[in-house]
């Protein structure tokens, strides 16, 4: 059977009090609408249509890499109207359409699959995702008859017996596409708000003798985000899920309440993560690593048995058995080899550092290729920028760079060479050489007395 999905992402989100469209607020580092899109994809839905409205161009920009189509809801006239705006997407199609909301990022892949399978197996024209909660105040109630859904009754319209019902509408659905299109043409907006409600489609289908079912899932999955408070609640729920998944896979998380891991992060077994770490984007941390407190790692690959202390690593690659930090900063396009040492207050940008090389402290390396087995003294600076352009420094294997050295790019330091402390290197250093580029020391006897500076 052909299957597609519509994601409603046109809402204004007034309670968010933000210039950012509501669905673009992030939960665990990813925009809410992209959570939903990725979940739909993982559930096997390839043909996705996102209904955009307020901030449409921003939403399109943030979702363009997901290969979705768009429908525009220029006026906010209800959920039924939103789906009406996707008529062109559905036109001529036969099969199943899943309808979800872009502000409900906690829905699980397995729940989407279960909803579609249930819908298909039972031969329903519509299937509603529902939850059972102790206090359903304010929610539309599901009224069943012989297991099928008879109707959805809004809380304000419930009679005494309906108020006792605890099964509520989660606002997520599966529809037979042809049945949905036919019903959309019959929707009315004769209500106080003058809006078209998708829930009214259920009544239209029932009036035609169509079959409507409901699948119960955990309420937590269906929570929509309409305020900053609810955004924080969604963050906590998803953070807990993510951390529990990694712990179940053999990762030690010392304090899950204070460890922040993005949903797309991969972590190998026997890695130990201390509190205060933020691991973001598509980071991959392989097995046996130790992340001591308070690092930020984003879109990076950390190989096996790496130790990281209180550092920032962005879009970089760190080789096996290397140590990083404390207080190191690896900027994008940095690649560190195996058994290397990147120490305290070291910044590396767009550079390759070879195996067994030590950059222990207070050093800046930018736009450089560094070989294996090198040693950098404290206070080394690769001077890669002349005010207009960036240039490259190349350092061979087993080079020793003395303390307080400036390497003025473009320059090359050959294999097995030494640079004396305090040197400013502007020319190539030949292999096996010692380079000294500093003024000779001069002592002027009696200078303090002559100047009258003696205390």
- Segments of 183-306 assigned E as strands: 212-216, 252-253, 260-261, 266-267, 272-273, 278-280, 284-285, 290-291, 296-298, 301-302
Dihedral through CA 252, CA 253, CA 254, CA 256, nearest 10? Answer: -150
Tokens 């529990």 belong to residue: 244
361 among known catalytic residues: yes
Residues 6+ apart with CB under 8 A from 380: 359, 363, 364, 365, 401, 403, 404, 405, 406, 407
For residue 140, what is the DSSP state?
P
Would you state the structure tokens that stand for residue 215, as one six-digit string?
A: 């699948």
Rounded CA separation 264/243 (Å)? 12
Q: How far apart are CA 389 and CA 237, in angstroms?
A: 47
Dist CA 24 CA 34 (whole Å): 8
Six token digits for residue 321: 């058995």
Alpha-carbon gap, residue 171 to 151, rounded angstroms? 14
Q: Is 154 exposed, middle or buried (0-12, 13-18, 19+ CB in 10 A)?
A: middle
Tokens, residue 447: 């200078």
Q: Which three-class secondary structure state does DSSP give residue 364? A: strand
Rounded to whole angstroms, the Cα distance separating 400 from 377 reads: 8
Check 25, 81, 246, 361 and give the catalytic one: 361
- Cα angle vertex 150, ends 122, 141, to 5°? 110
> What is the residue-wise DSSP string for 165-203?
--EEEEEEEEEEHHHHHHHHTT----STT----THHHHH
Q: Could you tell me if 212 and 206 are in contact, meaning their C-beta atoms sit under 8 angstroms apart?
A: yes
Catalytic residues: 361
């Amino acid at each position: 059977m052909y299957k597609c999905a519509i994601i409603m992402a046109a809402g204004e989100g007034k309670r968010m009090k933000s210039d950012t469209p509501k669905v673009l607020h992030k939960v665990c580092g990813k925009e809410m609408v992209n959570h939903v899109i990725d979940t739909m994809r993982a559930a096997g839905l390839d043909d996705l249509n996102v209904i955009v409205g307020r901030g449409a161009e921003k939403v399109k920009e943030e979702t363009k890499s997901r290969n979705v189509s768009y429908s525009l809801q220029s006026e906010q006239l209800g959920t039924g109207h939103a789906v009406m705006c996707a008529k062109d997407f559905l036109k001529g199609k036969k099969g199943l359409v899943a309808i979800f909301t872009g502000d409900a990022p906690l829905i699980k892949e397995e729940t989407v699959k279960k909803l579609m399978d249930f819908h298909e197996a039972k031969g329903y024209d519509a299937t509603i995702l529902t939850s059972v909660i102790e206090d359903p105040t304010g929610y539309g109630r599901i009224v069943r008859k012989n297991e099928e859904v008879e109707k959805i009754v809004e809380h304000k319209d419930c009679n005494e017996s309906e108020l006792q019902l605890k099964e509520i509408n989660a606002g997520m659905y599966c529809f037979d596409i042809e049945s949905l299109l036919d019903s959309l043409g019959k929707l009315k907006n004769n209500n106080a708000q003058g809006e078209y409600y998708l829930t009214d489609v259920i009544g239209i289908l029932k009036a035609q003798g169509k079959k409507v079912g409901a699948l119960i899932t955990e309420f937590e999955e269906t929570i929509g985000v309409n305020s900053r408070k609810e955004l924080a609640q969604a963050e906590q729920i998803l953070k807990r899920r993510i951390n529990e998944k990694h712990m179940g896979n053999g990762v030690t998380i010392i304090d899950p309440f204070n460890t922040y891991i993005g949903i797309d992060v991969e972590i190998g077994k026997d890695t130990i993560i201390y509190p205060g770490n933020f691991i973001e984007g598509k980071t991959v941390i392989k097995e046996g690593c130790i992340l001591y407190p308070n690092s930020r790692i984003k879109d990076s690959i950390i190989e096996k048995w790496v130790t990281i202390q209180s550092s920032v690593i962005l879009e970089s690659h760190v080789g096996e058995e290397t140590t990083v930090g404390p207080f190191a900063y690896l900027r994008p396009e940095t690649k560190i080899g195996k058994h290397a040492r990147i120490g305290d207050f070291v910044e590396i940008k767009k550079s390759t550092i070879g195996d067994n090389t030590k950059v222990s402290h207070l050093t800046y390396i930018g736009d450089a290729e560094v070989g294996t087995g090198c040693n950098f003294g404290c206070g080394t600076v690769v001077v890669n920028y002349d005010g207009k352009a960036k240039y490259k420094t190349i350092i061979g294997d087993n080079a020793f760079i003395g303390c307080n050295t400036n390497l003025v790019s473009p320059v090359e330091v050959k294999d097995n060479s030494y640079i004396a402390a305090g040197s400013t290197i502007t020319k190539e250093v030949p292999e096996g050489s010692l380079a000294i580029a500093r003024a000779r020391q001069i002592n002027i006897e009696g200078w303090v007395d002559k100047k009258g500076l003696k205390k």
